[in-house]
Amino acid sequence: MIKRTHTCGQLRETHAGEPVSLTGWVNAYRLYGQNLVFIDLRDRYGVTQLVFDKESCPEALIEAAAKLRAEDVVGVRGTVRRRENPNPTIPTGLIEVVATEMEIFNKTDQLPILPDDSGAAGNIAGEEMRLKHRYIDLRRPRMQSILGVRHRVCQTARRYFDENGFLEIETPVLYKSTPEGAREFLVPCRTVPGQFYALPQSPQLFKQILMISGCDRYMQVCKCFRDEDPRADRQPEFTQIDLEMSFVRREDIMDMMEGFVRRLWKEVAGVDVPPIQRMGYREAMERFGIDRPDTRYGLEIKDISDIARKIEFKVFQEALAQHPEARAYFSKKGVVKAIRVPGGAEKLSRKITDGYSGFVATFGAGGVPTVKLNAQGAFETGIAKFLEPVKAELIAALGLQPGDTVLFAADSYAVATKSLGELRQKVARDMGLVPKPGCEGGPWNFLWVVDFPMFERNKETGKWVALHHPFTAPRDDQAEAFVRADLNSDDETIESIVSAGYDIVLNGQEIAGGSVRIHSRAVQAKVFELLGMTPEQAKEKFSFLLEALSYGAPPHAGIAFGLDRLIMNFVGTDNIRDVIAFPKTLIGQDLMTRAPSPVPDDQLKQVHIASIAKG
């Protein structure tokens, strides 16, 4: 078998005259009668032109070369030669390899898709075809490059955390069902009939136990599983870079993780990340309407309820009449909020702004009242006539300039905030304000979001739920208030308790999230109680944790980075399937292997399962 001496991306002018051999796939072929054949040979490292011509090759070799087609797999021996006509568009374009011997490892059948990034062959395969024939799709230089970025991110994480004393430890994939959070994948147990494992939503409790075990610093690149409906940026199985540290408080772990972010961006993107700013949850919700603000552009949200109160506009008045006595946050109290869109009068056509009503309807809002300030400084269109009495106040409050458009939301705090938070991002896209992905020179805007509420009331059930997860500790200065609070009557206190959680937000995407953990058995038990668990239920589900907490648990804190989303940012895609070698479709199928699949009844019996699915 011909073995390669070089890769297809390696040869340069300095190799001229050397005997070499290359192996790879036929990327393209160009024929000139019986006398001259060009083959572009591709491997993971690049493309090199092979030449078969009458002067250098026996006739049989040229004939064989002329029969090569796209994706045939071959090895070639030959000599490196400077090209008569260099091709400046590829790194190996100054040379070619004059073939003297060829071994065909495999001929290909008619291909369903071509591994072609450029669309040079006249088309780019659809995603369904790419997933079905993933092994061809992954040959594309673009996909190879993404796999490379993913590898570098993982390697950088392992190096950085190794240098800082972290141990890489594997945690179980067959785990105990703890059904509070996301829906779990279940695995029937053969040896204990009728009982099940669950696949972990995250290794959360194991890494805490590892801290209690004295491991001090833990890291793992680990698979997590959530059986929820997917999105463009979600998969049922995804990967986290998971971390936990002992004997630290919030500032310590945030410093350590900021160091990791700085190292990662330096090594993977060649970018120096400046110190990461912090923003409180309340400020983020107030200014951006979302807990992961995209700070690459303005369009901030302002509360103008006090101005809106003064005018006779039914939509505003009805909104403001909702729960007027309620607390401002996490409540149903009515508010009026607004976004100033600089230059929107020209760029946002009537058709576009009309479309915003339908957009916010999906978040429960009734519409988007709109007004323009024309070049002469007069309110125009939409609700102009209602706003006239408070024109000066509005201009001052929002900093309006001629040519601006103002978009309003009048609803409950929750709906108005969510609607404008989402609308803000849509307007930014419509106005062309969102820069290209960072890898193409756009800004990387990092932000720590901190001071989340510990708990909020579930909208439907009215039960308290943990905003992050039930193992999150209150912020140091809040712990006492939580310990003292009466769970049955002290709603105001419970709602106001701030956690020691922290998220890293990048360009409006959450890329990491974590918290200081509860290391007191009493506090942990109290959280379980608040979340509606009886002591018996808490014991049944989490006795191992409660026991561990009472046998010498150090203070500890952790975080997890969403690896897939990190890669999406580095390579500039909004499709998570692009950054996973073998991803699943929206209903969780693997189109290549056709998983999931039926299994024989025998196999079901062994695990004590009977299917009730029809058909």
Least CB distance from residue 454 to RNA, whole Å?
10
Binding mask 161-180 for RNA (x = CB under 7 A): -----------------x-x
| Cβ–Cβ under 8 Å, residues 313 and 386 | yes
Q: Which is nearer to RNA, 49 or 156 (CB)?
A: 49
Binding mask 227-266 for RNA (x = CB under 7 A): -xxxxx-x--------------------------------
Strand boundaries in 19-69, DSSP class E: 19-32, 36-43, 46-53
3-state secondary structure of 480: helix
Binding mask 532-561 for RNA (x = CB under 7 A): ------------------------------
One-character DSSP codes across 109-167: -S-SS---SS-TTS----HHHHHHTHHHHTTSHHHHHHHHHHHHHHHHHHHHHHHTTPE
Strand boundaries in 345-463, DSSP class E: 370-373, 379-380, 405-412, 446-450, 455-457
Least CB distance from residue 491 to RNA, whole Å?
18
Among 23, 156, 204, 295, interactor with RNA by CB under 7 A: 204
Among 59, 121, 436, 476, interactor with RNA by CB under 7 A: 121
Q: Which is nearer to RNA, 70 or 273 (CB)?
A: 70
3-state secondary structure of 489: coil
Binding mask 391-420 for RNA (x = CB under 7 A): ---------------------------x--
Least CB distance from residue 198 to RNA, whole Å?
11
Least CB distance from residue 304 to RNA, whole Å?
24
Residues 9 to 48: which contact RNA by CB under 7 A?
A: 28, 30-36, 38, 40
Q: Which is nearer to RNA, 12 or 69 (CB)?
A: 69
Read off the tokens for 68.
């090569």
Side by side, the strands of the sheet bearing 446-450 are 167-168, 217-225, 237-246, 556-562, 509-516, 501-506, 446-450, 277-280
Least CB distance from residue 452 to RNA, whole Å?
11
Beta strands 73-82; 446-450: pairing state: unpaired
Q: Which is nearer to RNA, 35 or 496 (CB)?
A: 35
- Would you count residue 433 as binding RNA (CB under 7 A)? no
Least CB distance from residue 138 to RNA, whole Å?
16
Least CB distance from residue 394 to RNA, whole Å?
29
Least CB distance from residue 384 to RNA, whole Å?
30
Its sign, for the CA torsion 409, 415, 418, 422, is: negative
Among 20, 22, 51, 423, interactor with RNA by CB under 7 A: 51
Residues 345 to 364: which contact RNA by CB under 7 A?
A: 362-363
Q: How many angstroms separate the Cα of 21 from the Cα of each of 16, 17, 41, 77, 87? A: 13, 13, 11, 4, 21
CA distance 115 to 239: 26
Its sign, for the CA torsion 591, 596, 602, 607, is: positive
Q: Which is nearer to RNA, 21 or 419 (CB)?
A: 419
CA distance 426 to 347: 13
Q: Which is nearer to RNA, 137 or 404 (CB)?
A: 137
Q: Which amino acid is at 405?
A: T
Residues 126 to 155: which contact RNA by CB under 7 A?
A: 126-129, 131
Residues 450 to 479: which contact RNA by CB under 7 A?
A: 459, 465-470
CB under 7 A: which stretch of 117-125, 304-312, 518-526, 550-558 binds RNA?
A: 117-125
- Would you count residue 529 as binding RNA (CB under 7 A)? no
Q: Which is nearer to RNA, 119 or 399 (CB)?
A: 119
CB under 7 A: which stretch of 113-121, 147-155, 162-170, 256-264 binds RNA?
A: 113-121
Least CB distance from residue 111 to RNA, whole Å?
6
Least CB distance from residue 50 to RNA, whole Å?
10
Q: Which residues are CB-neighbours of 447 under 8 A, at least 6 positions away?
A: 276, 277, 278, 279, 293, 295, 504, 505, 506
3-state secondary structure of 62: helix
Q: Which residues are CB-neighbours of 140 under 8 A, at least 6 positions away?
A: 115, 116, 117
Q: Which is nearer to RNA, 87 or 520 (CB)?
A: 87
Q: Which amino acid is at 472?
A: T
Among 195, 381, 537, 575, interactor with RNA by CB under 7 A: 575
What kind and span of H or E run contains 509? strand 509-516
Q: Which residues are CB-neighbours of 283 under 8 A, at least 6 positions away?
A: none
Among 9, 181, 402, 435, interactor with RNA by CB under 7 A: 181
Residues comprising the chain, all counted: 615
Q: Which is nearer to RNA, 133 or 158 (CB)?
A: 133
Q: Which is nearer to RNA, 163 or 540 (CB)?
A: 540
Q: Which is nearer to RNA, 182 or 221 (CB)?
A: 182
Phi/psi at 344 (5° precision) = -70, -25
Among 209, 577, 579, 580, interactor with RNA by CB under 7 A: 577
Residues 53 to 92: which contact RNA by CB under 7 A?
A: 53-55, 69-70, 83-87, 89
Among 110, 461, 597, 611, interactor with RNA by CB under 7 A: 110
Q: Which of 425, 150, 440 is nearest to 297 (CA)?
A: 425
- Would you count residue 112 as binding RNA (CB under 7 A)? yes
- Would you count residue 49 as binding RNA (CB under 7 A)? yes
Q: Which amino acid is at 189?
A: C
Q: Half-sphere exposure (CA, 13 Å, Cβ side) for 330?
A: 21
Beta strands 455-457; 464-466: pairing state: antiparallel
Least CB distance from residue 250 to RNA, whole Å?
18
Least CB distance from residue 461 to RNA, whole Å?
10
- Would you count residue 585 as binding RNA (CB under 7 A)? yes
